[in-house]
């Protein structure tokens, strides 16, 4: 619950939107929550209501022959407040989606460029448009990387040893290819892999680095 709020009326201007924004980072730090389609639609509905009220107040003033800009009466201020509420709600809605989109961009960098490379738990949290956005953004990244002929989503950590020791955490079997050897990557097996080959698998939690 928001500290400092003492109202319980949910239909106060902007309260729902605030809830949506708070929900963005309400889970564990740095992690995506399930896309709250329902709450988002409720806020969008509130925007429509704001707009209806706004329009009716302006119309009322026009019918009374008053100039909306200059006549500062109760209707004018009412319309103003509804307008301000609308843009506040808009800001909250967009911030929710935009910040999630930034996290999706981060997924492409750190976990993988293909949707199937994202773990199930993550995919579940994304809405359908978000999955599409992920695909498009990954494709934009791939397009750049092929233009400069360099993979940029590996080599994220300054190189120390060219080969690292890893242990396989999840069964990956023959599903993966490494540049200079063929091996069976069964669970708990240990291997010496090239840094850049192992990197993404470690990032996805499929392997872990061993030291010492």
Partner 1 sequence: MAEDFGEGSTAGMDEYETLMATTDVELLKTALRNEKAAPEILQIQTQLVKRAREQIQLMEETVEEFEQSGMDPLTVSLYQMDLDRAQFLLRSYLRIRLQKLEKYMFYIWKDDSLRNRLSEPEIFFVKRCIDDMEKHLEETVLSKLPDNYQSAGRQSIISEEDDMVPEPQLDTFVACKSSNRFVSLRLVDRYKSSFFWHLLSLIFSFFQKQVCKFAFINLQWETFGDGAP
Partner 2 sequence: MENSRETGSTNDGDASPRNANYYDIDDILVEGELVPVVFYKSANGVKVDPSAEKDSVEEGAKVELPFWLAQELYLRQAVSLSIPTCFNQNTRREIQADAACVDLKSRCPYFYEFGCKIAPLVGDRTIGKMLLSTFQMRYKEILTKAHTTAYAPASKSLAVLTKEETSLHEAARSSMAAFKKWRIGGPRFQRASVLGRKRKSTE
Q: Which residues bind partner 1 (CB under 8 A)?
A: 40-41, 44, 47-48, 50-51, 83, 86-87, 90-91, 93-94, 97-98, 101-102, 105, 109, 127, 129-130, 132-133, 136-137, 140-141, 143-144, 147-148, 150-152, 154-156, 158-159, 162, 195
Binding partner at 208 among partner 1, partner 2, none, C-beta below 5 to 8 Å by kind? partner 2
- Token pair recorded at residue 82: 């509804």
Cβ 190 vs Cβ 166: under 8 Å: yes
C-alpha distances in Å from residue 158, one per residue of 144, 154, 172, 180, 205: 22, 11, 26, 21, 20
DSSP state string for 74-106: HHHHHHHHHHHHHHHHHHHHHHHHHHHHHHHHH
Binding partner at 136 among partner 2, partner 1, none, C-beta below 5 to 8 Å by kind? partner 1
C-alpha distances in Å from residue 12, one per residue of 15, 55, 57, 82: 6, 19, 19, 11
Residues that bind partner 2 (CB under 8 A): 2-7, 9, 11-14, 18, 21-22, 24-25, 28, 30-32, 53-54, 56-57, 72-75, 77-82, 84-85, 88, 91-92, 94-95, 98-99, 103, 106-107, 110-111, 119, 121-122, 157, 160, 164, 169-170, 198-199, 202-205, 208-211
């Amino acid at each position: 619950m928001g500290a400092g709020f003492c109202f319980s009326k949910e239909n106060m201007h902007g309260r729902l939107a605030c809830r949506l924004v708070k929900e963005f980072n309400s889970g564990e730090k740095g992690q995506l929550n399930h896309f709250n389609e329902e709450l988002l639609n409720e806020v969008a509905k509130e925007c429509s209501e704001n707009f209806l009220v706004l329009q009716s107040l302006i119309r009322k003033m026009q019918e009374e022959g008053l100039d909306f800009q200059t006549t500062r009466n109760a209707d004018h201020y009412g319309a103003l407040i509804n307008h301000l509420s609308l843009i506040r709600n808009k800001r909250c809605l967009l911030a929710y989606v935009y910040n999630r989109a930034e996290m999706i961009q981060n997924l492409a960098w750190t976990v993988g460029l293909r949707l199937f490379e994202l773990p199930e738990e993550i995919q579940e949290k994304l809405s359908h448009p978000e999955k599409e956005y992920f695909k498009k953004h990954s494709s934009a990244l791939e397009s750049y990387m092929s233009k400069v002929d360099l993979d940029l989503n590996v080599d994220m950590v300054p190189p120390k040893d060219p080969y690292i020791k890893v242990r396989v955490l999840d069964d990956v079997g023959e599903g993966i290819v490494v540049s200079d050897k063929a091996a069976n990557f069964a669970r708990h097996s240990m291997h010496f892999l090239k840094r850049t080959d192992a990197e993404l698998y470690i990032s996805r939690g499929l392997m872990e680095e061993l030291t010492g």
